[in-house]
Amino acid sequence: MNLPYIVGNWKMNGLRATLAEARAIDRAAARYPKVEMALAPPATLISRMREVVQTIDVGGQDCHVAENGAYTGDISAAMLKDAGAEFAIVGHSERRQSYGESDETVRAKATSALDAGLSVIVCVGETEAQRDAGEALNIVTAQVAASVPQGDDIAPRLSLAYEPVWAIGTGRVPSVDDVEAMHRAIRETLVAAYGKPGKDVRILYGGSVKPDNAAELLSADEVGGALVGGASLTAESFIGIVEAVSPAEAE
Ligand code: 13P
């Protein structure tokens, strides 16, 4: 049985001074042995963060499909690994939208991350127009089927993150019923892709997760954790989410 996995995506936020928040999160993590925590800072902070935290995982927010080469400004999975990362997020909707990343590209990035020895979190999610048109389930399950890496023995190093685009940074969240319906559909797609091991892939929910809605969202069937944006930037709100999911144990 997987422990809940609470992952903070700092996006393009964080300077050296912000590492104090990561340190505080890491110190607090000792009181939450029933939760796994991770932070994905900007690439500039990965190695520094890795040096100052012990308990939590550190990861990258994206990687290039190639291992190295003439790709100015890009960062490969091997470089993330070399900087101390344990995982990479790929296919975030902000990358799909701003950089036109297709499912095919996301799959190639995920494969490259696994090849470099990282775990991977593959993000999927529908737009508001797609949800309004009643297409959310079809769109998202198609994204999952086309974005997850192929092959054997992948499932243990894979997590999915369902992030409805309209819920990111907006304070709006889907109903628990809608989250459950989506996570069940994603589970079916993962089992179709990987067979039995697909049952153990964590499926995270992301989009406006806060301390006051985390307990409800994470109690939903098939929700194995959260991918948190804004509320991961301070230890107070990040640990507030963790506490809502699984209260601290006495030291
Ligand atoms: P917010 O928690 O700020 O809505 O961001 C969610 C997200 O995109 C995490 O990857």
Sequential pLDDT tens for the chain (251 residues) = 789 999 999 999 999 999 999 999 999 999 999 999 999 999 999 999 999 999 999 999 999 999 999 999 999 999 999 999 999 999 999 999 999 999 999 999 999 999 999 999 999 999 999 999 999 999 999 999 999 999 988 999 999 999 999 999 999 999 999 999 999 999 999 999 999 999 999 999 999 999 999 999 999 999 999 999 999 999 999 999 999 999 998 76
Q: For tokens 């959260």, what's the residue?
A: 226
Q: What distance in angstroms lies between residue 247's CA and the mean position of ligand 1's atoms?
A: 23
Q: Three-class SS of residue 39?
A: strand
Distance CA 133, CA 55 (A): 43
Q: Which domain holds residue 74?
A: 5-245
Structural domain contains residue 29: yes
Structural domain contains residue 223: yes
Structural domain contains residue 116: yes
The partner residues of 124 in beta bridges, in order of sequence, read: 162
Element (H, E) at 14: none
Please tell me whether the overall predicted TM-score, pTM, comes out greater than 0.95 for this model. yes
Structural domain contains residue 75: yes
- Looking at residue 76, what DSSP letter applies? B
First to last CA, the chain: 24
Structural domain contains residue 79: yes
Tokens of 172: 């709006």
The CATH number assigned to the domain holding 107 equals 3.20.20.70
At 251 the pLDDT is 65
Structural domain contains residue 251: no
How many structural domains comprise the chain? 1
- Looking at residue 155, what DSSP letter applies? G
Pocket of ligand 1 (CB under 6 A): 9, 92, 163, 168-169, 206-209, 227-231
Q: Which atom of ligand 1 is nearest to the CA of 161?
A: 10
At 1 the pLDDT is 72
Element (H, E) at 192: helix 176-194
Structural domain contains residue 174: yes
Q: Which atom of ligand 1 is nearest to the CA of 171?
A: 4
Q: What distance in angstroms lies between residue 26's CA and the mean position of ligand 1's atoms?
A: 20
Structural domain contains residue 229: yes
